[in-house]
Amino acid sequence: IKEYSAVVTVGDSAFELYTYLDDVADNYAKSINQTAEKLDGKAQVYDLVIPLSSEIMFPDNLKGKVKSSDQRQAMTSIQAKMSDKVKNVDIYDSLMEHRDEDIYFRTDHHWTALGAYYAYEDFCEAKGIEAEPLEEREQVDFDGFLGSFYNDTKDARLKAHPDTVTAYKPKDDCSMHVTASD
């Protein structure tokens, strides 16, 4: 384990450490609850808290060696603060079931499209709708991605093993336009 402030690396992977703050959770829940109150009878408000990769992907045998709050416990605390007008979507177990897949980037703080897809499946289940199968979409890979963790650490192990960004094209006949800036 190599520490860089709020980021640590283990081998060729980096992880953001998490600190649960109850006052921040209270403010978050208050905001969601106010929105649900204003939309009551007009729209259902869903709350989906996303754990960081450090909770899902960090090696179990090293968890006691870093200072990071228990995100499962934090998610449970946050969900308990929601009013009955908010429908919680708990994605923790689904992500844990898929933790041996590339559901988070190793060099960046975001989850991958695959990780987001598993959360989408849980959301669809909570909403009572059928998820669109991922297998029906064309997969496109973009190699050589070095994300925010690499920028934060400049760790040579991350640079030597960049991530692949996988995109899934929409099924419908539409186009995507990407604009890159220097």
For the chain, the maximum distance between any two Cα atoms, rounded to a whole number of angstroms, is 53
List the alpha helices (DSSP H) in 40-179.
Answer: 53-56, 71-80, 92-97, 113-127, 148-153, 156-160
> Nearest CA to 63 among 1, 132, 154?
1
Q: Band of the pLDDT at 159, cuts 50, 70, 90?
A: very high
Report the distance separating Cα 25 and Cα 18, nearest Å.
Answer: 13
> pLDDT by residue (tens digit) across 12-60?
999 999 999 999 999 999 999 999 999 999 999 999 999 999 999 999 9
Report the distance separating Cα 22 and Cα 19, nearest Å.
Answer: 10
Terminal C-alpha separation, the chain: 34
Is the pLDDT at 170 greater than 90, yes or no?
A: no
- 21 CB burial (10 A radius; 0-12, 13-18, 19+): exposed
pLDDT averaged over the chain? 95
Q: Band of the pLDDT at 171, cuts 50, 70, 90?
A: confident
- Show Cβ contacts of residue 27 under 8 Å, excluding neighbours closer than 6 positions: none
CA 49 to chain centre: 8
Is the pLDDT at 178 greater than 80, yes or no?
A: no
> pLDDT by residue (tens digit) across 85-107?
999 999 999 999 999 999 999 99
Average pLDDT on 138-155 reads: 97
Is the pLDDT at 176 greater than 70, yes or no?
A: no
pLDDT of 4: 94
